[in-house]
Every structure is written in structure tokens, then in C-alpha cells.
A and B are shown apart, each in its own frame.
Chain A
Amino acid sequence: MNTVSSGYSDRGMVREGNEDSFVVAPELGLFAVADGVGGHRAGEIASKMALDVLQDYLGRTSGGGEVLLGGNDPNYSDTANRLASGIRLASRVIYESAQDNPAWRNMGTTIVAALLEEERLSIAHVGDSRAYLIRGGGIIPLTEDHSMIAEQVRMGLLSPEAAQASTQRNIITRALGFEVDAEVDLCDLLLAQEDRILLCSDGLTNMVSDQMICSIALGSQNPDEICQQLVEEANMNGGKDNVTAVLIMVRSGSLSLLSRMLDWARRS
């Protein structure tokens, strides 16, 4: 599978530090964004630690024969399960090291991670960092925020309009490091030609509409450029939080014959 990818992060216009972290590791097929929570730069440490642990775990287990933390969910691919296991591990590491270090008390982080294996992309997320699929000119959210507002909307307690206006948008209901075991949401998808996958922190999605994200993401063939433009757009709209974007682009004509056939079958 031939993909190009890039990531870009900025502290925004208001915040003093950048608690977002990201990783773009095509050799592992790993792409992830984490948004740290916790005072005194602990948030930054948490987000960095989460991605370090995840990358380390996936690097160690890439040869197969891995041990899955938190069991195997047969509804998802092996790749997805491996990714979830790495995220659970990261959560534990953050939780236990925070127990050990008072300065790190209560640190945590959101995460959205994508693991690519041939044509199959597995997405895992915890918290309010999001993944989008941009396909055929449209933008499809792949994740559901684990935030209080989003859950209230899902439960029908709040209208989407009221949610937009809410001041409690920053309260998240799940994060790595808050509890021993993190509950990870998964999704598997088969990539098609020209697909673009965007992973981003809430600093982007709170500042830029999905439609705008879509048009920027389709506006260039260069992932570096797209990521920077997305961050710039967020900053121009106020940049109230750290902004991070990671983009994966499937090069056209890069799929194997078999996948092209499947792709064709799916479309026709």
C-alpha cells in the first residue's frame, strides 16, 4: 500500500505550551495524535509517553506472536486488537507512573491512532481527538467523541446546536491514565484509492468546521501543506487550544490488483 503522510502541531494562539503530541511512523504503519491533560506540563508528558509506549510496543510486536493486553475482540481485525492492546498498555504506564510521581498526579491524555496493514486500516481512539475519512469528496467521521457533551447529544439530552454553544465542551469522559484500564473504541476499514485519513486534536475540530476541513484536505496533493493549512485555519479562527493534524494519503494506483477488484466490486 503506497501512502504518503505528514503531521503538524502548533501550540495555537492562546496556550503557553503544547500538550499535543503526534507520531508519524510509516515504517510501522502507525499514525497517532494525543492531547495531554494535566497541569505543570504533565499533560505534555502524558501525551508524549502514550505515543512513545505505543510506538515501542508496536515496534516490539510487529513480528507477530504478540501478547494482547485486555484480550482479543473477535469483532475486529488482529491489527485493531494489537493497536488497542498498545493503547491499553500506554494507559497503564501513564497511570502507574503518575501514581509514583506527585508532579504527574492526575495526568492523562486522549489518543486517536491508526495502524495500517496492507489495505486495512484500524483506528482506535479514547477521548475527544478525532479521525476522519475523506473519500469521494465527502468527509466521514470515524470516531465518536468521549466527551460529556457528545455523550449527552448521543443520549438525546442535548441538541447538536446546544452542544455547539456549550461551555463544557472540554470535559472528556475517557482518557488514558485516568484509570488503570482504558476502554478503547475500535474501527476497521479497507482503504480505497485516493482516500485521505485525518487524525486531529480537538484544537482543530473546535475551531474549524468539518466542511472546511474537508475542502482543505482535498485542496492539495502534499500532506505537509494540508496539515499546515489546517493548523493555520484553526489559528486564524482564534487558535484557542493546541492544534495538531496528521494526514495519511493513499496514492492513486498504489493498490494491489486484488484490492482494486474489491474496490471496483464495492463501488459497482
Chain B
Amino acid sequence: MKIPKKILSDWVIGCLLTIVMLVALLLQWSPLQSLELKSYDFRERMREKKQSSPVVIVAIDDASIASMGRWPWPRTFMAEMIEILKADEAALIGLDILYTEQDRSSGLAEMRALREKLEALPSYNKNSQLSSIHTAILQSEQLLDNDARLAAAMSAAGNVLLPLYLTVSDQLARQESALPEYLKVNSIIPSASVTPLRAVEITAPTPEFIASAKGLGHVNIVTDVDGSLRKETLAILYQDRLVPSFALQLVLHYLKQPLSAIKIGDELSAGSLSVPVNSKMQMLIGFNGPAGTFPYYSFVDIMNGKIPQGTFKNRIVLIGHTATGIATPQVTPAHSSFPPVETIATIIENILNKNTIQRPSWALPLEAVLLLLAGIFLSFLAPRLKAGISAVISAILLVLWNGAAIFLFVSQGLWLAMAPLSLLLFIGYTAIATKRFMITEQRKELVEADSIETSKMLGLSFQGQGLLDLAFEKFRKCPVDDTMKDLLYNLALDFERKRMFTKAAAVFEHIRQTGSYKDIDERIGTLKTAGETMMFGAPGGRRDATVIMEGGSSKPTLGRYEIEKELGRGAMGTVYLGKDPKINRQVAIKTIRFEDIDPDQLDEAKKRFFREAEAAGTLSHPNIVTIYDVGEEYDLAYVAMELLDGADLSAWTTAEKRLSPKEVLRMIRAVADGLDFAHSKGIVHRDIKPANIMLQLNGDIKIADFGIARVMSSSTTQTGVIMGTPSYMSPEQVLGQKVDGRSDLFSLGVVMYELLSATKPFTGDSIAALMYNIANKQPVLVNKLDPSIPECCAYIAHRLFLKDIEKRYQRGKEVVAHIDLCLQRLGTT
């Protein structure tokens, strides 16, 4: 399983989210906008409160339609209504019905045609009968001229305002048509600071009505992205004039402020009136409640005189549709089906009571700054806190900001955006928490489902500890994928470095089971041809040692010697059978591992080793193993020496294989002779023991490892190879004093004692005890252990390991002489 190397860190996620949210806020990204508008509507409904206002509504409602007939009604009904309202002293009448065409329903045209026919008759002027008919037709004509009737009623009332409709578009208005005369009085010259909406076409009432109306205003509505109506556009640009809205006109006329009094900036003001607007001259409508919050009077009830006198006195009366199928209800925050006429009422109320909603100019900068702060919290602080604490802090921030936003909206009518900050905190926190959770889960999954990973990990650790076999055992449990191949390959190389070539080959084979990889085929080939004989050094060394390997089938070499095969392994290193190709002589090559020696002392130890080995090399004696050569190659020191064909004496120290005293004497004599020679050259062996005395097949005795052994074992080692039992040490060695040839003779005595009796003269439960005994205890005479041992033998052995150096044999020669005497005595008896 692959794990992503580095998962996005928390702060990156936090910063990205913050940037996205900031951009969304500044560009008013529509989903965010919709969300914000939802919160706006929510706050709007919380804020709703019935306000007192001079506005009443005359509704052309279902009941009126039912009793007065289908719409459109004859315009005389409206004329009658205006007369009634005028009689009740209404302050202002807003007739929210757009009469753009002349009335053709009443048969006026027929009547006119009839009259014109009559006038065309030749007898028309002479016939009084015809003349009276003509008069009657004229009267009927007047009766049927509804438009004239309504226009007359409006003129008589003198306080009727009419709507007009503008076609809003970004395209430039068609300039060819001159500005209509009526707009000159019903519009404002715009100031430079505004960027109003532009209209390209105008739909106005008929000129007859315009002439009789007190004022005109547009009834355009602009909805938000979600199709809901929240704001009123107080003025729209047509050609080079700003056309005020119907509601604004009503308010201005109600307050008796001329259009010219209007000043436009952050607010639209005229006299005592001021309305906060945005750059498009829009104000946010503060609704007072659902449809029906303003007083409604049914059209038919008024016509039937059911409404008490004085109801409309000094009121702004709006006449509009509410009937099903005729009215076009609007979607507003307050109600999903809000009559347009009540929207106008609400706007008038808002302006008069300064009850609008305002988006202050500092709102956006404040929101942006808060968004940034929240981003910093999410990115840098939250990841450092425990999940619970950051959740609580996020929740508190959320509640604080939203609480403030709601409070300001409801009490002050200030609109601050809730959505961006809430969304950022919410998404950000969720994202970071989810990420944490996922990572934790992913890890759990990895660990719990994947013992393979565990094996891999253990394998790597074992390899790091140099425990290659254990490492391979663990790696074997993992399926061989690409990463595994690499790990195995490195393991095989480690095996090679430790000269464990069979193991290395086994690992390469394991890789090859799943196909070739890198140069393993080649490597397996090399390892195979080299074969078992290629084993240099003993396994188990910790540090890397150099592999001696030549390509192809040629034999490996060490120095100038060709290596034929391994002969055996010792404590210090491995012994190989080698050949000196120059003189075609077979030699034993002993390699020395310096691996366990403390690196600080390595140079010193090597120096000493070569010094001693070279000195030993000068010794030429039949009882001393001849050293031909010492050398160093690839960090591997070696000694080329005489090839021996026997075994060392350690095999002859057991009770079952005891040698006869005569035989022992012969051997000790040979060793003593060799030692005498070496001592005379000033060279001390320091490690005389059965293992270092070689018995050749022809019976010759040779002392091995002159000088070399002690160099190795006396160097302080780092990893602490367990020191061999110092049974053969002399008291001066044990006590760490200066050592000379007589120390070797002491050791020889111990060897002799052991060969004779198969018992070590000095023993102890621990090394410490043994050392104490060597220094202080005098062993029993060897013939006390076995009476068959001749007395002279016991004497010689006893004399060899006397504690007092001066009383001991001083030279090997003396030992030789005494042995000769003893042998003579034995021979004679």
C-alpha cells in the first residue's frame, strides 16, 4: 500500500479556503450570495414589525371582481372611485394601473361613425329630427367616452399619480426620439457620483391621462439572484434624465418636496427626507409583515358606500390589484406572494419612517478583515489545539459573529454578511477535523490490516542492527513488489559485504522469483561460480568488511596468494589454503578480523600486529611454524605461513585420550626448545596453550601464532567479545606486570600438567576466581592426582609454574635438560 508522502498541511488548507472565501465575498459569487440572502430573509422576518403610516390600499380584489364583473372594468368605475376618494379628502392617490391605450370597449367608435354618417346626409341640416338625433348621439358619445371621463376625474382630483414602465437594458438608449415633454417635469438631472440602471424604452400612460395626472413614476422592480424582491430602485436613467420611482414620487408629493430638491450621494435626500442608497440608487426594503399588514379596503365596498366617511382623509391611497389571476404577486422576504401595491406601500412607509435596511459602507471591509482573522485562526491556531477545543472556539466565534449580525440587523437595520464567515469557519473546521480523522483512520487501517508493513519495518530494523538473517526472515513474509525488491537487493548486498555469499545468493534468488531486477542475474552468476570456497572471514562481524571477489571464474587472491579453499575458522579469523603462484608453494593463510577492535585503537593495534608478526617471521626453527609473509589488502590483514597437516594439542587434553608421560615429555621438550630459541631472539609468545601447539602427522611439534595472538586479544575491544578463559596465563600476566620468556614457561607448565593428568592446575567458578587462584594458589603435585605419573615429570611441571619468577626455570634450555634427564631415568627403569 502506498501512502501519500506528504498530506496537505493544515495551514495550506486553511489559507486556500480563506482565499477562496475572500474572493467569493468580493466577487459576490452567486451560491454564497444565495446563502447570504437566505440569512437576510431570516433576519428580515425576525425584524418585521407593524409600523404606523399614512398609506391605505384600495384593493381590486376577488370580491370586487365577483360583484362588478370581469377585468378590465369600464374606466368610469375608476373615475367614480377617484371622485369618492377626492370627496373623502384623500391626500394623494396612487393609481397603480398602467393605462397605455385608449378605451375601445364601449362602442364609442361605432357611435362616432354613426354621427359622421348622419352629418354626411344631405338633408342633415334641414331636418330638425335628424338634428335632435345628432344631439342625442353626441350626448351618448360623451357618455361613452370613458377615457375623457377618467381624465376629467383625475384633473378634478388634482392629486392622482400614475405609473410608467421602463425597459431596462445595458444598451444605450435610442437617442433619435426626443425626450418626451412629460418627462422633463417628472425627472431629475443626475449627479456624477451615481451609476444608475439604464432604460432604453419607456411605456407611459396615454397623453390624455398624463396631462391630467399630478406626477409620474416608474414601477420597475429589480429582483436578486434568487428571484426575490428586496430592494427598490429609486431612480432609473432614461436618456440623460433620472426617472424617480412611483413610490418616491408619492412620498415627495406627500411631503410637498419638489423633485429638484433631491440630492444624491450615499443617501438620497430631499428636505427632511433621507434614504440610504447604494451606487445604483437602490434602497433595501424593510418589510413590516406578510401581505395584509397595511389597511386594505375592497374596491366594491367603497363603491357601495360601506366604508365610513373620513377613512381616506389625508391618507396616501394606493389603488391596485390583489385579485387572483390579475395581480402579479411578487416574491419578497416577507411573503412568497406579495401584492405589488403593498410593496409600494411598504417603500413609502420605509422612506417616511426611515425604516429601510442599510448595508453600511464599512460592512465589506469589516467582513473581509474578519474573514482573514478567521482564516489565520483556522490555519495556524486550530491545528495546534486539541480537536475539542478548536471546535468550541470555532463555535463561539460563529455564535458571536452571527449574534452580532442578527442584533445589528434587527435593531439597527444594518446588514452585515453572515454567510461567508460562518461558511469559512464551518467548512474550514470540518475540513481540518476530517483530515485529522482520515489520517488517523488511514494509519489505523495501515497498521491493523497490514502485518506486512510491520514485517517490513522489523526487517529494516534487524538489517540496521546487522541481524541479516532475521531481516531476511521478515522480508520473506512481504510480497515482492518494487519497494520490496529494492529492500531485498540492499539486504543481499549487505550479505555480500559480510561475505555470506550463499545467503546473498538466496536473497537474489528470492527477488528473481518475481522477475529480473537490476543486475541480479549477473550477481547470482558470479556468486554461483565463486561457490562455497569463496567464504572469506567468519560471519557475524558487525561492521562491513570488504568483499574480495573477482569477476568470472578466476580465483580470488589475497596479496600475491591465490585462495584455494577454506581450512577452518578460529577466534581471530579464517584460515584458507592458499598458493604462492611464484614458487608454487602451498601456504596457510590466516586472515585477521580487526572488526571488533575499537576504531580509536585500530591503527595502533594494526601497527603492533605487523610489528610482532614481522618479528615472528624472522624465527626459523623446526619447532616454530614458519611465517612467510604478512600483508594487508582491502582492510583485511593476513599472515601467510607454513602449511601444517596435523591438529593442535587441545584434542589430547581429555581423560580418554591422555598421552603417555613419555610422549608428553617429548612434546614439552620440543616446545621448550622452540621457546628457548625465540626467547633468545627476544620474542615472547604470550599465549602458550594446547590450541597453539600443533602436532604434525609425522609427529613433529610446532608452535603456532607467535606474537600474533596476544596482539589481538589484548586490544580493548568495543563490542566486548567474551574473553577466553585465562587458564594458561602466568601470574605476572594476570597481574598485568611486565612479561618475559619465563611467562611462556609458566604457561608451558600448565599445558604439561594438563596433558599429563587431563586436569587443569588452576580453576575457578568465575574468571575473577581463576585469576585469583593463578596468582595465589599452588596446585597439588600432578602425581598426587595420578600415581602412575613419574615423579620427575611432576617435578618439572611444578618447577615450571612456580609463582616466584626467579625460582622458576629461567630458560627453555634448562627444561630441555631436565626432560632429557627424566627421559633417561624413565628409559632405564
Contacts and interface: CB of A to CB of B under 8 A. Distances in A.
Interface of A: 17, 40-41, 44, 49, 52-53, 56-57, 60, 63-72, 74, 78, 89-90, 92-93, 96-97, 100, 103, 119, 258, 262
Nearest to A262: B384
B380 A89 contact: no
Interface stretch (B167-175, B297-305, B457-465, B601-609): B457-465
> Interface on chain B toward A: helix, strand, loop, or mixed SS?
helix
Contact of A53 (B3, B6, B381, B465): B465
B5 A64 contact: yes
Nearest to B3: A65
7 contacts: A52-B465, A65-B3, A67-B443, A67-B454, A67-B457, A69-B457, A89-B458
A90 B461 contact: yes
Given A71-B448, A90-B461, A258-B384, A97 B454 contact: no
A63 B6 contact: yes
B694 to A, nearest CB: 30
Interface in B419-471: 439-440, 443-444, 446-448, 450, 453-454, 456-458, 460-462, 464-465, 467, 469-470
A97 B457 contact: no
B827 interface: no
A40 B722 contact: yes
B469 A65 contact: no
B503 to A, nearest CB: 15
Contacts of B453: 67
A92 B458 contact: yes
A65 B461 contact: no
Contacts of B465: 49, 52-53, 93, 97
Interface residues of B, number: 31
Given A65-B4, A67-B450, A100-B470, A72 B443 contact: yes
Contacts of A70: 447
Contacts of B450: 67
Given A65-B3, A67-B3, A72-B443, 7 more contacts: A57-B461, A63-B5, A67-B447, A67-B453, A71-B448, A100-B470, A262-B384
Contact of B447 (A49, A72, A97, A258): A72
Interface of B: 3-7, 380-381, 384, 439-440, 443-444, 446-448, 450, 453-454, 456-458, 460-462, 464-465, 467, 469-470, 720, 722
B5 A93 contact: no
B136 to A, nearest CB: 99
B467 A97 contact: yes
A97 B469 CA distance: 10
Nearest to A103: B722
B118 to A, nearest CB: 101
Contact of A97 (B7, B443, B470): B470
Contact of A52 (B458, B464, B720, B722): B464
Contacts of A17: 720
A40 B723 CA distance: 11
A258 B381 contact: yes
Nearest to B387: A74
Contacts of B3: 65, 67
Contact of B458 (A65, A78, A93): A93
A124 B344 CA distance: 73
Contacts of A92: 458, 461
Nearest to B444: A72
Most buried by A among B444, B461, B462, B722: B461
A44 B447 CA distance: 31
A52 to B, nearest CB: 6
B720 A41 contact: yes
A70 B448 CA distance: 8
Contacts of B6: 63-65
Contacts of A53: 461, 464-465
B381 A69 contact: no
Give the residue among B381, B443, B448, B458 with the most A Cβ atoms within 10 A: B443
Contact of B446 (A56, A64, A68, A74): A68
A262 B389 CA distance: 13
A41 B7 CA distance: 44
A121 to B, nearest CB: 14
Nearest to A77: B386
Contacts of A93: 458, 461-462, 465, 467
Given A56-B464, A57-B461, A65-B3, A71 B447 contact: yes
Contacts of B4: 65
A100 B457 contact: no
Contacts of B456: 67
A103 B540 CA distance: 13
A73 B5 CA distance: 22
A57 B469 contact: no
Those 5 A-B pairs whose CB atoms lie nearest each other, nearest first: A65-B3, A67-B453, A56-B464, A53-B461, A93-B461
Contacts of A71: 444, 447-448
A71 B445 CA distance: 9
Pick from A17, A68, A78 the residue with the most CB of B within 10 Å. A68
B481 to A, nearest CB: 15
Contacts of A66: 443
A17 B717 CA distance: 13
B469 A100 contact: yes
